[in-house]
Structure formats: C-alpha cells, structure tokens
C-alpha cells in the first residue's frame, strides 16, 4: 500500500514526508525543491492492541513470565517487530509514502515536471493533497504575503489538482479511444469495462474501480451504449468519474499553526480534511531522536528528558511547541495517515506466524510481522501477500487463537494471528 503526497510546490509536502518517515530529504522555501519522487516508510498506530498483550497474559497465567516491571522501557510488550515498534502493546505498522514533486497548473500539458509528476502517482492507493492553510504561497508555490481570502486560496489549490488529474486520465483514454471501443463493441458493457481496465491498469485502476465508475455513470443517466461515438468532452466526463475511484484524495491543511482561525472548516468538500503542522512534527521527531524529549507521534504532549543540556532558546522553542501542540491536540500527521488507512480505506492488520502455538517465526521471534491488508482478505490471499510460493502451495490456515483450521476462502478479521500451511 502506497499513499502519495501531492500538491503545488512549497506547501510542506517534503516536510510532511520527512516528519512521517524521518527520511532525510531536501526541504527549502522555494518551488521544485523536490525533483524526483521520494519513497519512504511511515509507522502508524494499529487501532487494536498488539496480540502480544494476549500472549503475555497467557504466559503469566502459566507462570512462565513475571508481571510487568515498572522499569521496563517497553511497558510489557514482548513482541519482536522486524519493522516498526511496540511499546505498551501499542504496535506501529509500516505504511509506504511517496513524496511527489510539486504540481503546477498545466502539468497534464507538460508544465513543471509534466506527466513525470503524474506517473509517480501510479499505483498509489490513496492521495494526500497538502495545501497551504496559511495562504502564504501562490498557485505555483512562490512565497507571497498571506492572502486576505484564505478560503479562496485553499479552494483554488484543491480544484487545480483534480482538474490536472482529470485531464491526465482523459489524455490516456483519448489515445486510441474510437478504435479501442469499437474493438469491444460486440461485448457490450462488459467489453467497455475491459477496455477501460486495459487502458488504465498502469495507473492503478482495478476491476472494482472501473465497475464503481460505471455504476456512477448509470446513476448520472449517461448512456453507455455507444462509447465509440463520444467526443473529447464526454471522454473527459468519464475521466472525472474515474478519478475519485482510482485516486481518492484526502486533504492536509498544512501550516495550520500559521492560519488565522480555522479556514479548513469552511471548505465545501466530501474529502477527509485534517489540519497539520508538519514543521512542528519534524522538529519534535528530531528532538526525540536526539534524546532531548520523549515524544510519541500522534500524541498532544511530550516531556523534556534533558533539561540541563538545553540552552534558553531551545527551552523557549519547546515551550512554544508544547502550547501549540496542546491547543491543536496534536500535529495532525499521524491522525490523517491513520484515518486514511483504517478509516477511509478500511484496512486491517494481521499477524502471520510459523508457529500457531507460540506465535513465533522460524527464528523464534514473537509476532515479528504486522501486515496492513484489505478488509475481507482471505487466508489464501494473505499467503500470496506473504510470499508467492506460500500462495502457490497453499494447503490450509490455522487460527492462532482458536487453533482451528481455516480454509482458503476464510475471511480474516482485524488483529488475526495466522499460520499458513503450504507444500
């Protein structure tokens, strides 16, 4: 699963990316600081307690482990994540982020990085459009004196992104449209769906997204009988309906601490809109990494752990951040990622193991892997996600809690612990 960070230049996309992943990227106050897409991993909080809490209780009840030591830095967690972490049974799971170069109006026609930008979005499950809630940059990302009409500025950013995506998809469809649609006309709507999937699979279209689009078109009373007769405006209309299914967009109203009031609350959109402070999140994450403070991403508080080594300027800066963080109930970075993954996309977390009794892998590591997967995933689909060979040789699954056998088509629940048997 990949989430793309998009928007005009100089709104804080790279700062958002760096704050979420702690990856080192170029960050500067000018357009097109980012040229090539950056790819990194953010770790987000699983909505359910790590299953290692259940395992610990079982081991304690059996007398094989003692009670939680108050000095334990992991606060009782006994799992051994290969990626991410778990403290106090709070498991952080990996989510891939793509930081794409800034988009300017006319990108679909070659301006800025043109279609190179758009191609970087291929196969992103969802997009976060980072917009400037302070209205201190123009539509091309150049620094300006803050606009008096912040709402209009934010709406302009939102509109031009959807317009560019619509134009990009439309351009892909228009290339060979008449010939392609005539080729499948004997198959009717089924053939038309196959044509759309063939044209757009390279940018992440799926059978589900295509059929959802066709449902939308029928609901809009659009006649699907003779698509080979459609003109460019009709093809663009199809693209407009396809886009939200291929690229669902969520909005991070960044630089929220510099905004006057809460202008994002007035945006008329069905999208998820979360105010964010990427600069502050990055500063807090770096201070935590330097052992100056104790900070958990997503929290609205932190503690100073090295007060004696801080100079007065650092103390004042931390006091200011502490106040802003408290007032805003967090920086919004973790919040928007978690709401997208576990809310909008309805993903779940599952734990594959090699020993269904001890919940360990082949090297005796406890619950080493936590995978974000689609709701409704079957046991065999999970096997393929773990490794192709496991899927090809699938025999059965074992539920780690009940120890009962589960079949290939069994639908896994959130927080499931699963052993896959394979030839």
Residues 6 or more apart whose Cβ sits within 8 Å of residue 312 = none
Task: Give dist(CA 11, CA 157) in Å, integer.
Answer: 10
Confidence bin at 307 (pLDDT 50/70/90): low
The confidence score (pLDDT) of residue 115 equals 59
90 beta partners: 87
The confidence score (pLDDT) of residue 77 equals 97
Two structure tokens written together for 251: 């909005």
Question: Does residue 35 or residue 214 have the better pLDDT?
Answer: 214
The confidence score (pLDDT) of residue 131 equals 93
Is the pLDDT at 28 greater than 50, yes or no?
Answer: no
Determine which of 100-109, 147-156, 237-246, 277-286 has the lowest per-residue pLDDT on average.
100-109
366 beta partners: 360
Question: Does residue 139 or residue 334 have the better pLDDT?
Answer: 334
Is the pLDDT at 401 greater than 80, yes or no?
Answer: yes
CB 332 within 8 A of CB 256: yes
Q: What is the mean pLDDT of the chain?
A: 89
254 beta partners: 132
Residue 273: in which H helix or E strand, if any? strand 273-275
Task: Give dist(CA 236, CA 225) in Å, integer.
Answer: 17
Long-range contacts of 151-159 (CB under 8 A, 24+ apart): 151/263, 151/266, 151/267, 154/253, 154/263, 154/264, 154/267, 155/267, 155/268, 157/7, 157/8, 157/11, 157/129, 157/131, 157/132, 158/129, 158/131, 158/251, 158/267, 158/269, 158/271
The confidence score (pLDDT) of residue 1 equals 82
Identify the structural domains of the chain with CATH numbers, from first to last.
2-166+248-274 (3.40.50), 169-244 (1.10.8), 281-331 (no CATH), 346-422 (3.10.20.30)
- Percent of the chain whose predicted confidence (pLDDT) is above 90: 62
Residue 2: in which H helix or E strand, if any? strand 2-6
- Using CB atoms within 10 A of its CB, is residue 13 exposed (0-12), middle (13-18) or buried (19+)? buried
Determine which of 22-36, 156-170, 177-191 has the lowest per-residue pLDDT on average.
22-36
Two structure tokens written together for 68: 């939680």
The confidence score (pLDDT) of residue 34 equals 44
Determine which of 83-87, 192-196, 226-230, 308-312 has the lowest per-residue pLDDT on average.
308-312
Over residues 231-255, mean pLDDT: 94
Query: What angle is formed at CA 82 by the lines to CA 78 and CA 84, rounded to 5 degrees?
Result: 80
Helix (H, G, I), strand (E, B) or coil at 397: strand
Over residues 190-201, mean pLDDT: 92
Residues 6 or more apart whose Cβ sits within 8 Å of residue 420 = 352, 379, 382, 383, 386, 390, 394, 397
Helix (H, G, I), strand (E, B) or coil at 396: strand
Two structure tokens written together for 239: 């693209």
CB 160 within 8 A of CB 112: no
Confidence bin at 36 (pLDDT 50/70/90): low
Predicted TM-score (pTM) of this structure: 0.88
Two structure tokens written together for 173: 């469809």
Helix (H, G, I), strand (E, B) or coil at 206: coil
pLDDT digits (tens, 9 = 90+) for 1-12: 889 999 888 888
The confidence score (pLDDT) of residue 22 equals 85
* Closest listed residue to residue 14, CA positions, set 32, 30, 27, 23: 27
Over residues 68-91, mean pLDDT: 94
CB 298 within 8 A of CB 188: no
The confidence score (pLDDT) of residue 315 equals 86
CA atoms within 13 A on the CB side of 212: 13
Over residues 85-98, mean pLDDT: 94
Residues 6 or more apart whose Cβ sits within 8 Å of residue 159 = none
pLDDT digits (tens, 9 = 90+) for 246-295: 999 999 999 999 888 899 999 988 899 999 999 999 999 998 988 889 99
Is the pLDDT at 26 greater than 70, yes or no?
Answer: no
């Amino acid at each position: 699963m990949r989430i793309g960070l998009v928007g005009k230049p100089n709104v804080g996309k790279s700062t958002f990316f760096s704050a979420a992943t702690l990856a080192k990227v170029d960050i500067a106050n000018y357009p097109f600081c980012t040229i090539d897409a950056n790819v990194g991993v953010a770790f987000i909080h699983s909505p359910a307690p790590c299953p290692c809490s259940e395992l610990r209780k079982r081991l304690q009840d059996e007398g094989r482990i003692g009670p939680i030591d108050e000095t334990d830095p992991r606060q009782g967690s006994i799992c051994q994540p290969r990626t991410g972490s778990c403290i106090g049974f709070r498991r952080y799971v990996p989510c891939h982020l793509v930081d794409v170069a800034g988009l300017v109006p006319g990108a679909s026609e070659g301006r800025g990085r043109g279609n190179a930008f758009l191609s970087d979005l291929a196969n992103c499950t969802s997009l976060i459009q980072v917009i400037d809630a302070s209205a201190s940059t123009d539509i091309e990302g150049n620094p300006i004196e803050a606009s008096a009409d912040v709402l209009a500025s934010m709406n302009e950013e939102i509109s031009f992104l959807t317009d560019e995506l619509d134009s990009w998809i439309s351009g892909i469809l228009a290339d060979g449209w008449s010939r392609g649609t005539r080729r499948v006309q004997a198959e009717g709507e089924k053939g038309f769906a196959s044509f759309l999937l063939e044209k757009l699979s390279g940018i992440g279209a799926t059978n589900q997204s295509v059929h959802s689009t066709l449902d939308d078109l029928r609901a809009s009373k659009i006649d699907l009988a003779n698509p080979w007769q459609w003109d460019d405006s009709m093809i663009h209309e199809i693209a407009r309906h396809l886009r939200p299914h291929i690229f669902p967009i969520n909005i991070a109203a960044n630089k929220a601490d510099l905004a006057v009031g809460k202008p994002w609350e007035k945006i008329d959109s069905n999208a998820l809109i979360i105010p964010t402070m990427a600069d502050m999140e990055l500063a807090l994450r770096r201070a935590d990494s330097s052992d100056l403070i104790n900070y958990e991403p997503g929290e609205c508080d932190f503690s100073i752990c090295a007060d004696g080594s801080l100079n007065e300027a650092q103390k004042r800066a931390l006091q200011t951040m502490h106040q802003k963080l408290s007032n805003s109930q967090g920086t919004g970075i973790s919040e928007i990622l978690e709401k997208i993954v576990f809310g909008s996309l309805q993903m779940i977390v599952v734990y594959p193991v090699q020993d269904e009794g001890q919940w360990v892998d082949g090297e005796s590591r406890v619950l080493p892997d936590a995978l974000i997967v689609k709701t409704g995933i079957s046991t065999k689909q999970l096997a393929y996600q773990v490794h192709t060979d496991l899927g090809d040789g699938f025999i059965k699954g074992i539920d780690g809690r009940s120890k009962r056998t589960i079949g290939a088509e069994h639908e896994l629940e959130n927080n499931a612990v699963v052993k896959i048997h394979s030839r």
